[in-house]
Amino acid sequence: MSEIKIDTINALPEGFSSKINADGAEALATLQSQSGAGNDFLGWLNLPNEYSDADLAEIENATRVFEGCEFVVCIGIGGSYLGAKAVVEALSDSFAAFKPSKAPRILFAGQNISEDYLFELQELLADSRFGIIVISKSGTTTEPAIAFRLLKAQLEANVGKKEAANLIVAITDARRGALRQLATEEGYRTFVIADNVGGRFSVLSPVGLLPIAVAGFDIRALLKGASVMAAKTSADSDENAALTYAKARNALYRSGKKIEILVNYNPKLHFLAEWWKQLYGESEGKEHKGIFPASVDNSTDLHSMGQWIQDGERSIFETVITVEEQRHSLSIPSDEANLDGLNYIASRRIDEVNKMAELGTRIAHIDGGVPNLKISLPKIDEYNLGALLYFFEKGCGISGYMLGVNPFNQPGVEDYKRNMFALLRKPGYEAESEAIAKKL
Ligand code: PA5
C-alpha cells in the first residue's frame, strides 16, 4: 500500500541543519515520553490503538438511533465539529446534497450564532425527521448550547419529548458540565470525551467517529490508517514524516517565513484545511509566537490569491497536499471544430491537467521566493485520511514543542468569551460588565 510522503526538496532555508535536527529530536522525545508541557492532554497519541472491537461496535450501533432520519444535525464548535466536518466533506460526493442518499445527511450547527443560519436550518428541518448529535467537552460552550436549546425544542415539538430523547446522542465529559447533567436527566445516549484528549485533537475519539459513521463511512479503516501512521512517527528517523514536517516548518519560521499556506487542488479537502488551521493556530499561536496558518483551494484561489502569493511580501511558505489517485476517471473530449483550441489536451485525464497546474504553480512560487513543502496523499479514502489526520496531529505536537510553547492549551480563546458574557450581562460577570461598559 502506498503511503503519505513529505517532500522538502528546494524548500529548506540555508542553515536547516544540526540545530533544527537536534531540536526536532528533543521535541519528539519530549512528546513520546509525555514529559513536556500539557502532558495531561496527550490521550490522542495512542488513541487509534485503544479501541476494542466492542468500543467500535458501540459507536457503529449508535448510528442505528438515526435510522429513518433524513438529517442528523451535529452541534459543536471548534474541535467539537471541525474534524467530523473535514472527514465527511472529504469522503462525500461533491454533490451529495442533490443526490439520493441511504445515510442521513449530516448538517452542522452551533459553530456560529447567526440568526439567519439557525432560522433557515429550523425551516429546513420543519417537515423532516431528524436527529441530533450534540458535542461539547466542557458542556458549557455558548454557541452549541444555543443551537441545542433551539433544536431540542423543535425536535420535542415534532415527535414528543420521549421520542426526541431517543433521537439525541450527547458526547461530553464523563462527569462535568451542563451537557452531562442535561443528558443524564433527559436519558440521552452518551459517549465520553476523555479528560486527556483536547478538542482539536479529538477527531479520532467519538467526537469525530460517531458523525463519520452516521454519514456512512468506515471508521475502522480511518483508525487503521491513523494507527499505522502512529507507528511510523514515533522514532527519530528520516522516515518519520511528521518529524520532517515539524522540522521543516520550524526551519522556515526561523528564517522569517511567518505564514504557512496549506494548498489543495481538490475541493473535497477544503474543510481538512479548516481543521488543520484550528489544530495549528490554536496549538501554536501563543506568547506572541507561532506560524499563522492560512489555506487556499486551487485552482479557484489561483485566480484570487495567486497574485499575492506569487508577488506579495515574502513572509510565506506553502505546504501543498497532492492527491495521487482520483476516485473517478474523466478525460477531455476531442472536438472536430476545436473552436476553444483545447484539442492539444484532448483525451488527457482532467487530473493530468490539474497536476500540471499544480506543478506549474509550484515551480512559479518557488521561483518567486515561496518555499514549497509537498505532502503526497495516495488517495482520499478513510485509510489515508486517518493517516493524514494523525500525521498532522503528531507534526503539531512536535512543532509546538520546537517553538517552545505548550501546544495543548488555549488560554487566548477565553478572552472573547469573558467579553461576550460581560456584554450579555451573564450572572457572575458583574465586574466585567461594568469594566467593559467604560470602553464603549
Ligand atoms: O480545541 C479546543 O479545545 C477548542 O476548539 C474546543 O474544541 C472548542 O472551544 C469547543 O469546546 P467544547 O467542546 O468544550 O464545547
Write the pLDDT tens digit of every residue in 33-57.
999 999 999 999 999 999 999 999 9
- Altogether, the residues listed in the chain come to a count of 440
CA of 81 to the centre of ligand 1 (A): 9
CA–CA gap between residue 88 and residue 66 (Å, rounded): 17
Residues 405, 351 contacting (CB under 8 angstroms) = no
Helix (H, G, I), strand (E, B) or coil at 81: coil
- The enclosing H or E element of 161 equals helix 161-166
Q: What is the pLDDT of residue 4?
A: 95
Mean local confidence (pLDDT), 288-316: 96
CA of 181 to the centre of ligand 1 (A): 18
CA–CA gap between residue 76 and residue 65 (Å, rounded): 19
Contacts (Cβ under 8 Å, ≥6 apart) of 374? 6, 7, 319, 320, 322, 362
For 184-203, the pLDDT digits (tens) are: 999 999 999 999 999 999 99
Name all residues whose Cβ lies below 6 A of ligand 1.
77-80, 136-138, 141, 144, 198-200, 282, 410, 413
Q: Give Cα 369 distance to the centre of its chain.
A: 29
pLDDT at 20 over 90: yes
The topology under which CATH files domain 5-35+228-403 is Rossmann fold (3.40.50)
Probe residue for ligand 1, chosen from 133, 137, 176 as the CB with the greatest number of ligand atoms within 8 Å: 137
Q: Please say if 303 is a catalytic residue.
A: yes
Mean local confidence (pLDDT), 409-427: 89
Q: What is the pLDDT of residue 15?
A: 63
CA of 200 to the centre of ligand 1 (A): 7
pLDDT at 14 over 80: no
* Domain positions in the chain: 5-35+228-403, 41-221
Q: Which of 303, 328, 438, 439 is catalytic?
A: 303
pLDDT band at 10 (very low <50, low <70, confident <90, very high): confident
Q: What is the pLDDT of residue 9?
A: 79
Please state, rounded to an integer, the average pLDDT across all residues of the chain: 96
Q: What is the pLDDT of residue 1?
A: 62
- Of 15, 14, 125, 25, which Cα lies nearest the Cα of 75? 125
Torsion of CA 212, 268, 47, 201, to 10 degrees: -110
Probe residue for ligand 1, chosen from 80, 81, 111, 191 as the CB with the greatest number of ligand atoms within 8 Å: 80
Cis peptide before 299 (omega within 30 of 0): yes
The topology under which CATH files domain 41-221 is Rossmann fold (3.40.50)
Per-residue CA distances from 281 to 252, 278, 284, 286, 320 (Å): 16, 5, 6, 9, 18
Ligand 1 nearest-atom number relative to CA 78 = 5
Residues 251, 15 contacting (CB under 8 angstroms) = yes
For 118-151, the pLDDT digits (tens) are: 999 999 999 899 999 999 999 889 999 999 999 9
Percent of the chain scored above 90 by pLDDT?
94
pLDDT band at 412 (very low <50, low <70, confident <90, very high): confident
Percent of the chain scored above 70 by pLDDT?
99
For 258-267, the pLDDT digits (tens) are: 999 999 999 9
pLDDT band at 27 (very low <50, low <70, confident <90, very high): very high
Mean local confidence (pLDDT), 228-237: 96
Ligand 1 nearest-atom number relative to CA 282 = 1
pTM: 0.96
pLDDT band at 423 (very low <50, low <70, confident <90, very high): very high
Q: What is the pLDDT of residue 18?
A: 86
Q: Please say if 417 is a catalytic residue.
A: yes
pLDDT at 2 over 70: no
pLDDT at 415 over 90: no
For 363-383, the pLDDT digits (tens) are: 999 999 999 999 999 999 999
For the beta sheet containing 292-297, the strands, ordered from the edge strand earlier in sequence to the opposite edge, are 5-7, 372-379, 316-325, 259-264, 292-297
Helix (H, G, I), strand (E, B) or coil at 71: strand
For residue 344, the one-letter residue type is Y
Strand 105-109 and strand 168-172: pairing?
unpaired
Ligand 1 nearest-atom number relative to CA 198 = 3
Residues 130, 155 contacting (CB under 8 angstroms) = yes
CA of 216 to the centre of ligand 1 (A): 25
pLDDT band at 157 (very low <50, low <70, confident <90, very high): very high
